[in-house]
Amino acid sequence: MKLAPATLATLALAGAPAHAAAPAEAPAALPLSLAGTGPYYVLDIGARARHLSAAPGLGDLRVRNGTGETMAFAWVDPPQPAALQRRVPARLYKVPLPPADAVSATIADAPQRQAWIVDTKEAGDDLLRLDLGLERDTQGVYTLRIEASDDLQHWRTMQQDAQLVQLQALPQVGAAGALATQAAREHLASTGIDLDERPARYLRLTTASRSAIPPLVSASVTRASHRPAPPPLEWSDPIAASGCEASSCDYALPPNTPVAAVQVAPSDIDTIGEVMVLGQVDAGQAPPRRSLLHGSLHALRLKARRSSPPPGLAWDSAAVTSVYWLSQPSGAPDLRSPPLRLDGTTWRALRLETFGPITQLGHAAPTIRIAVRRRQLVFVARGAGPFALARAPAGEASAAMTLDALMPGRAADAPLPAASAALAPLAAASAPASAASVVASTPTTASSTGWLWAALLGGLALMGAMAWSLLRKPGATRA
CB-based contacts of 113, cutoff 8 Å, min separation 6: 97, 101, 105, 206, 207, 209, 211, 213
Residues with Cβ < 8 Å from 328, sequence gap 6 or more? 210, 334, 335
C-alpha 153/C-alpha 147 separation (Å) is 11
Q: Residue 448 carries which DSSP code?
A: H
Select from 130, 150, 298 the least CA-distant residue to 216: 130
User: Would you give per-residue pLDDT tens digits along the chain (479 residues)?
Assistant: 444 444 333 333 333 333 333 334 556 789 999 999 989 999 988 888 888 888 877 888 999 999 999 999 999 876 565 558 889 999 999 999 888 787 766 666 667 889 999 999 888 788 889 999 999 888 888 889 999 999 999 999 998 888 888 887 666 555 444 444 444 446 778 889 988 888 899 999 999 887 889 999 999 999 888 777 777 888 999 999 999 999 999 999 988 888 999 999 999 998 888 899 999 887 655 554 443 333 333 334 344 444 455 566 788 888 888 888 988 777 677 888 889 888 888 888 999 999 888 988 999 999 999 999 888 899 999 998 899 999 888 878 777 888 889 999 888 778 889 999 999 886 544 544 443 343 334 444 444 566 677 777 777 777 777 776 766 655 544 44
| DSSP category for residue 383 | S
For 20, the enclosing helix (H) or strand (E) is helix 3-20
Pairing of strands 340-346, 349-354: unpaired
pLDDT for 65: 92
Q: Has this prediction a pTM greater than 0.95?
A: no
Q: State the DSSP code for 268.
A: S
CA distance 307 to 291: 23
Q: Is the dihedral of CA 281, 284, 290, 295 positive or negative?
A: positive
CB 86 within 8 A of CB 224: yes
Query: Contact, 155 vs 149, CB < 8 A?
Result: yes
**CA separation (Å) from 184 to 140, 167, 168, 178, 196?**
16, 11, 7, 10, 35
CA atoms within 13 A on the CB side of 264: 33
Sign of CA dihedral 348, 354, 357, 361: negative
**Residue 252, burial from CB neighbour count under 10 angstroms (0-12, 13-18, 19+):** middle
